[in-house]
């Protein structure tokens, strides 16, 4: 039986072969899921799947796209929103 701290399913079990030829079990933490567009639900690009322990110290530019509503809306939804806003104000 694995030790109590390793029984959690937030860790995934991976069997790897060591250089010596033995198969060893590794407990690796799971990465967060891919972020989705708030409007259409498509997967957003340009955002790496980083653990919060790493993203905390990473620069802001490494966590999102350099565009308005960068990590929130996809480029198509942003275009639609901007067009609607401009045509309403015209």
Partner 1 sequence: MFEIGRICVKLAGRDAGMKCVIIDELDHNNVLIDGQTRRRKCNVNHLEPTNQSVEINKNAPAAEVIRVLKELGIEVFEKTKKAAKASERPRSAKKIKEKLVKQPVIEKKVKKTKKAEEAVVEAAPEEKTETPKE
Q: Binding residues for partner 1, per CB under 8 A?
A: 66-68, 75, 78-79, 82-83, 86-87, 89-90
Are the C-beta atoms of 53 and 35 separated by less than 8 Å? no
What are the distances in angstroms from CA 88 to CA 20, 32, 85? 69, 38, 5
Give how far the C-alpha of residue 6 lies from the chain's centroid of Cα atoms, to the nearest Å. 24
Q: Which is nearer to partner 1, 33 or 89 (CB)?
A: 89
Nearer Cβ to partner 1 (12/83): 83
In the complex, the smallest distance separating the C-beta of residue 79 from partner 1, rounded to whole angstroms, is 5
* Residue with Cβ nearer partner 1 (28 or 68): 68
């Amino acid at each position: 039986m694995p030790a109590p701290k390793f029984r959690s399913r937030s860790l995934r079990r991976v069997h790897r072969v060591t250089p010596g030829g033995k198969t060893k079990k590794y407990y690796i933490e799971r990465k967060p899921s891919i972020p989705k567009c708030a409007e259409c639900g498509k997967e957003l690009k340009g955002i790496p799947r980083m653990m919060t322990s790493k993203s905390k110290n990473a620069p802001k530019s490494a966590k999102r796209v350099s565009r308005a509503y960068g990590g929130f809306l996809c480029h198509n939804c942003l275009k639609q929103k901007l067009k609607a806003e401009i045509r309403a104000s015209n």
